[in-house]
Chains A and B, each alone.
Chain A
Amino acid sequence: MRIDWTSYSAPGLHDELIGPGGGARVAGRALARYLTELGGAEIGVRQQAAELAIKAMGITFTVYHEQGGSIDRSWPLDIIPRTIARKEWNRIEAGLRQRVTAINHFIDDIYHQQRIVADGIVPIGIIASSRNFRPLCIGVSPPAHCWAHICGSDLIRGADGTVYVLEDNLRVPSGVSYMIENRQVVKRVFPELFDSAVILPVDDYPAQLYDMLAALAVHCTGKPEVVVLTPGIYNSAYFEHAYLARQMGCELVEGRDLRVDDDDCVFMQTTRGEQRVDVIYRRIDDDFLDPEAFRADSTLGVPGLMRAWAAGKVALANAPGAGVADDKLVYTYVPDMIRYYLGEAAILPNVPSWRCGEPAQLEHVLANLESLVIKPVDGSGGYGMLMGPMSTQRERAQFAAQLKAAPRNFIAQPVITLSTVPTFVGDRLEPRHVDLRPFILSGPSTYVTTGGLTRVALRKGSLVVNSSQGGGSKDTWIVDTEG
């Protein structure tokens, strides 16, 4: 049966495919027409085919099991793609480049002269109190003064169509492998669409990642040895670690495979003896990276890795300490950083934020808890938040007490109603909320993924897109409507 878009409604929301009048937006016209003809039942058949393909391809993510150990879940993909016009994407991409460039200037500045502090733009207290500020990094100069080599920024679109940056993940952002695999699966189930529409490819990422990493081996004369460092199979992103290592043709190492010698060089233990390592794409948090420098109880890391890095004998991506800009309070200063370092206005706005550490702003937040989202500055994954409009009197009272006790630890934002994309539910298409995580590679040059990973809240009305909390994902199409 043909899809009837008049019964698909998203009142008061911005839908990425269907415009206010019920007609498809430019980038999604071919898709909407195709879906209309296909009909609900056939879409269901394709959705099932996609789920089978995902199972067979072993695309999984790991969740921890209650009884200890872990289990693999098939990666949740909704086959209806999210479409963005190339023209709009070009602007977003420029905004992301600008943002990450400024952030890298900021991190390098913070660990050197701290000009931005001296000039009164960012207060020193903000930095000193950031949980991810690493005094050990002061004075270290990584190659090209680049710290955040891989950044995953979360973008959301509000009801009025504005695209905001919600947060920048600068430590070990994940999801890029699913972006690539989603495309593989959707190509299998909608092959016809790829004939008719100009959909930009996404699969260049591993090659770009490898080139960026290899370029960090500034002292290496031959072919550099690049490895991916994983915490191991029990990590929720292990699939991705293995995927990227394989796509790049690099060894996937664990901490116990590596050793730092007395000359601060890093070696891996192979069947043909020890071999020097030049670049480590590490997927382990700073805290666990080196028991000599950070948490002494870490068995995942490599003793001495920090001194090897500080001595310039090995490159780490991302650099230790890059997470200082991951803090949500530091986030509120990014537009200022862009102006300060680049002399430009931010292309992509932040979500308006109140800093609870500033008394006047705290007062406003306390008076408006019911309409705001309160977020811990070092949280991620949607944990430890207060969603004002859905909260109870008691929860608000608890949060108010927390805010007063440790105001530095929180920011507040208005509730942004995320845009929606048609999503297959039962036997029909319904609007579901989405965000978008593009990935930005920074080294001697900058690269932005074509689109990114679209995450979707599968529950009706839910704004929580995290896969650990029942979120799904979608393929993201940057559609060239002019070429």
Chain B
Amino acid sequence: MLARVAENIYWLARYLERAENTARLISVNANLLLDLQRGYELGWLPLIEITGSRLAFDSQKRRSDEREIVQFLLADAENPGSISASLNAARENARTLRDILPDEAWEILNEFFQEFTAQLPAGLNRRTRFDFLKRIVLGSQTLAGVLDGTMSRTDAYTFMMLGRNLERADMTSRIVDVRSAQILPAAASDLVPFHTIQWISVLRSLSGQHMYRQTRRGRVSRVECLDFALRDAQFPRSCMFCLRQVELSLRTLSRSSGVLDTLAGAHRFLAQVDFFQIDQPGLHQLIDHLQVYLSGVHASIAQAYFPALPGNARRPIQNQVQDRGSTLPLFT
């Protein structure tokens, strides 16, 4: 398939996944805050850091309260990571792919986008927000289901899966990061029950609560939760699972050995982590490292398969935010 089209379908999948997971992100933070006692909460500001949108947010001189931050993450056109901007970018990419995508997929994406726009006020209202976020997740899942159920397993599908799984790995790590940001004083023993509630919230945001119970059994613990979200081999939203899917996709492509090498580095990094040894600040650092690895995989895919950018070429569709939040140099 055309290199440019491969790139567009890759980004289509990334933006859809990003919209879905940003909805999950907002939802987990809201849940965590509800579970916390007054006085301990850090509020909404950590989401700005976690989504890597600090610069965009600061430049708008907004107040850092719930209303402003949720508006910024849901609907702000100037924030390239907002759900609204992501869905818009997904739609613009899909527009360039109308000859590739099944008819139903385009119809559903259109309806999804129109419904999102129409219902946006409900998303900004605290009382109706959960339902709104749930519908975004469902909308994205519906579309993914239609694509899975109707697309031939050609290169187009492969690049879509690459985008989806890479973005999902990245966003799952960010959702876990929300938890690491809402730190409770470790010494306060009366807060132990709250720790557990918080991890359950994280699982719920990943739609993983049920699967966790089935495979891990027993009490929800921090170490088990981290292992489940980041390293579980069966759960489709865990980082490790997604990396494995990326690998399978790459193996169907020609000229993928370079990308596979990069991917192996990310895989090794994640495999060797000992969650018992990691405290909360350490967790944040670990996730930062992981994201650097993931953006390395992206760069490697782009170099191998996407069009090289000639000097005057425009590239209209992407909101370039894939390297957000990475504060560390790329490991070698």
Contact = CB atoms under 8 A, between A and B. Distances in A.
Chain A's interface: helix, strand, loop or mixed, by majority? Answer: mixed
**In this complex, which of A239, A250, A270 has the most chain B Cβ atoms within 10 angstroms of its Cβ?**
A270
B103 interface: yes
Contact of B155 (A228, A238, A271, A299): A271
Interface string A53-70: 001111000000000000
Contact of B107 (A56, A239, A242): A56
B159 A56 contact: no
Nearest to B317: A233
B99 A252 contact: yes
Contact of B2 (A56, A57, A232, A253): A253
A245 interface: yes
Given A58-B110, A243-B98, A257-B3, A271 B313 contact: no
A296 to B, nearest CB: 12
A269 interface: yes
B192 interface: no
A186 interface: no
A112 interface: no
Nearest to B96: A233
Given A56-B107, A58-B107, A253-B2, A245 B155 contact: no
Contacts of A257: 2-4, 307
Interface string A223-246: 000001000110000110011011
Nearest to A57: B107
A299 B253 contact: no
Contacts of A269: 2-4, 307
A458 interface: no
Interface string B91-130: 0100110111001001100110000000000000000000
A254 interface: yes
A256 interface: yes
B124 to A, nearest CB: 24
Contacts of A254: 4
A198 to B, nearest CB: 28
A169 to B, nearest CB: 23
A251 to B, nearest CB: 6
* Contact count band on A: 20 to 34
B159 A271 contact: yes
A299 B3 CA distance: 18
A232 to B, nearest CB: 8
Nearest to A249: B99
* Contact count band on B: 20 to 34
A10 B106 CA distance: 42
Given A57-B107, A246-B98, A251 B312 contact: no
Contacts of B328: none
Contacts of A246: 98-100
B6 interface: yes
B305 interface: yes
A271 B6 CA distance: 7
A56 to B, nearest CB: 5
Contacts of A56: 107, 110-111
Contacts of B305: 271
B185 interface: no
B95 A299 contact: no
B218 interface: no
A242 B2 contact: no
Contacts of B313: 256, 299
Contacts of B310: 256
A299 B110 CA distance: 30
Interface in B1-41: 1-6
A268 interface: yes
Interface string A195-239: 000000000000000000000000000000000100011000011
B4 A233 contact: no
B329 interface: no
A257 B5 CA distance: 9
Given A233-B95, A239-B98, A242-B99, A272 B254 contact: yes
Listed from nearest, the 4 A-B pairs whose CB atoms lie closest are A242-B98, A245-B99, A246-B99, A252-B99
18 contacts: A55-B110, A56-B111, A57-B103, A58-B98, A232-B316, A233-B92, A233-B96, A239-B98, A243-B98, A246-B99, A246-B100, A250-B99, A251-B5, A256-B4, A256-B307, A269-B2, A271-B6, A272-B254
Given A55-B110, A233-B95, A299-B312, 13 more contacts: A56-B111, A232-B96, A232-B316, A233-B92, A242-B98, A246-B100, A257-B3, A269-B3, A271-B6, A271-B155, A272-B155, A272-B254, A272-B255
Interface of B: 1-6, 92, 95-96, 98-100, 103, 106-107, 110-111, 155, 159, 253-255, 305, 307, 310, 312-314, 316
